[in-house]
């Protein structure tokens, strides 16, 4: 009888066959599945939630790989925080005849709803006032003005965000006294850590420091806002209170501190971020460090290289949303800055230096030159995903080509030192005329 039992192959032949098969399958997969892998990665970017990547959105890895192209979640979060800053402008009482002139029109419980952000998912806990200690018009000199608010995410919003978010939202320049303070562009020691005096080389713009640290002698509103201390005192007290209280009540929750500001407000946010981290007030009840992130919209430079280095050491993350055509983002330090080279590099230690990572944008409306610094235009451009792209000439009535040629001419003139000085003077005049800081 013939046996039907097959002979078992030796182990060596099995191993060799498996190796060949595996190599063949891998090669085939590489040829046929690479497009599918790319689609899968794209799909992952689109379906990722804030909760699943909130630390990256807050800058844990300096937004590496999230800005070019702009990640949808980052885009939505940057636009969302921009709108929360925009609320400051919508509810500010700018009527000189009003008893609440330069204060918020509404109470804390209804302010976001009145600003058109009813579903924002935050509860406002404190209003913030600033008092420029500079010589200005009698109507504004020495008077407090409402500059923004502190809020905390609701339970529902906390679930969506993946953490409890303490938010500080700050507006840009409005009053003449604030404008006068902005023009105080000399660098001076920050003096925010006098108790320890460990970092005397850290310098910031004197005008922003004045706004941040000056106290009110009298109030702008007919309400009990006098004697509340400086903008700094108000912010430090409220942010540290919220961080401590919520970490005690919800010890298992993650937490973040988000400081969002436009123009002058972004400078105040930058000073606050540095201050909180330097004083250790961004630690919760158990001693864990709460991440501090600044979202700056059209923000100017704030301090010198030592200020930047110290912010980096302290782990303060900064995302600067900057329109390349916005002159405010080039000030102060239009001539001497972090990009200074050659024989001027010797002054680098006293040069203004940007902090953080830049999200570059490019937009312009020729019929409205001030739009290059407008917060609403910033938010609209973010939502339209125009970051890093050239502006649409058709949107300006076909005149974009003329402006582009003018810009090319200006860029060519910058090659000469004399032209640099002239450009700086013209830029300063433009900013002063439009009052954009």
Kindly list the catalytic residues.
263, 326, 373
Q: Which helix (H) or strand (E) holds 87?
A: helix 72-90
Q: Is 295 exposed, middle or buried, given 0-12, 13-18 or 19+ CB atoms closer than 10 A?
A: buried
The three-state secondary structure class of 263 is coil
Cβ atoms of residues 423 and 417 within 8 Å: no
Cβ atoms of residues 359 and 320 within 8 Å: yes
Structure token pair of residue 427: 């830029």
Torsion of Cα atoms, 194 then 59 then 55 then 248, to 10°? 20
SS3 readout for 287-354: CCECCEEEEEECCCCCEEHHHHHHHHHHCCEEEEEEECCCHHHHCCCCCCECCCCHHHHHHHHHCEEC
Structure token pair of residue 318: 């900064």
Structure token pair of residue 21: 């098969």
Q: Is 62 exposed, middle or buried, given 0-12, 13-18 or 19+ CB atoms closer than 10 A?
A: middle
Cβ atoms of residues 258 and 167 within 8 Å: yes
Buried b (16+ CB within 10 A) or exposed e, 309-320: bbbeebebbbbb
Structure token pair of residue 54: 């909130």
Task: Count CA atoms closer than 13 A to 275's CA, side-chain side.
Answer: 24
Cβ atoms of residues 51 and 160 within 8 Å: yes
Q: Mark out the alpha helices in 183-263 (DSSP H runs).
A: 206-213, 231-249
Pairing of strands 203-205, 255-262: unpaired
Cα-trace Rg, the chain: 26
Max intra-chain CA distance, the chain? 119
């Amino acid at each position: 009888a013939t046996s039907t039992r097959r002979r078992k192959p030796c182990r060596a032949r099995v191993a060799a066959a498996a190796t060949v098969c595996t190599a063949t399958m891998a090669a085939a997969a590489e040829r046929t599945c690479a497009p599918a892998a790319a689609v899968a990665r794209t799909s992952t970017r689109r379906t990722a939630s804030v909760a699943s990547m909130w630390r990256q959105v807050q800058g844990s890895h300096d937004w590496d790989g999230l800005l070019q192209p702009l990640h949808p979640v980052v885009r939505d979060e940057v636009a969302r925080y921009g709108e929360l800053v925009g609320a400051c402008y919508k509810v500010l009482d700018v009527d000189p005849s009003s008893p609440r002139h330069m204060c918020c029109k509404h109470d804390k419980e209804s302010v976001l709803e009145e600003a058109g952000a009813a579903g924002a998912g935050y509860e406002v806990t404190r209003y913030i006032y600033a008092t420029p200690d500079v010589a200005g018009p009698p109507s504004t000199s020495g008077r407090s003005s409402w500059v923004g608010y502190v809020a905390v995410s609701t339970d529902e919003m906390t679930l969506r965000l993946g953490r409890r978010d303490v938010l500080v939202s700050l507006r840009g320049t409005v009053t003449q006294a604030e404008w006068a303070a902005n023009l105080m562009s000399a660098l001076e020691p920050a003096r925010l850590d006098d108790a320890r005096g460990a970092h005397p080389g850290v310098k910031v713009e004197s005008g922003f420091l004045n706004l941040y640290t000056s106290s009110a002698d009298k109030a702008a509103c007919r309400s009990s806002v006098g004697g509340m201390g400086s903008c700094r005192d108000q912010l430090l007290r409220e942010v540290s209170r919220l961080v401590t209280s919520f970490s005690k009540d919800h010890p298992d929750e993650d937490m973040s501190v988000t400081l969002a500001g436009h123009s002058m407000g972004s400078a105040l946010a930058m000073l606050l971020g540095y201050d909180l981290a330097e004083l250790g007030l961004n630690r919760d009840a158990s001693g864990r460090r709460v991440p501090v992130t600044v979202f700056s919209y059209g923000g100017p430079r704030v301090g010198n290289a030592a200020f930047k280095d110290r912010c980096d050491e302290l782990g303060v993350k900064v995302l600067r949303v900057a329109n390349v055509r916005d002159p405010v983002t080039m000030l102060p330090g239009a001539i001497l800055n972090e990009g200074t080279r050659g024989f001027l590099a010797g002054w680098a230690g006293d040069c203004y230096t940007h902090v953080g990572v830049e999200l570059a944008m490019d937009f312009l409306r020729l019929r409205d030159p001030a739009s290059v610094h407008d917060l609403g235009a910033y938010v609209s451009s973010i939502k339209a995903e125009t970051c890093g792209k050239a502006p649409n000439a058709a949107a300006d009535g076909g005149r974009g080509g003329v402006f582009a040629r003018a810009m090319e001419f200006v860029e060519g003139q910058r090659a000469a030192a004399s032209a640099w000085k002239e450009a700086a003077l013209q830029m300063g005049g433009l900013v002063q005329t439009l009052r954009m800081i």
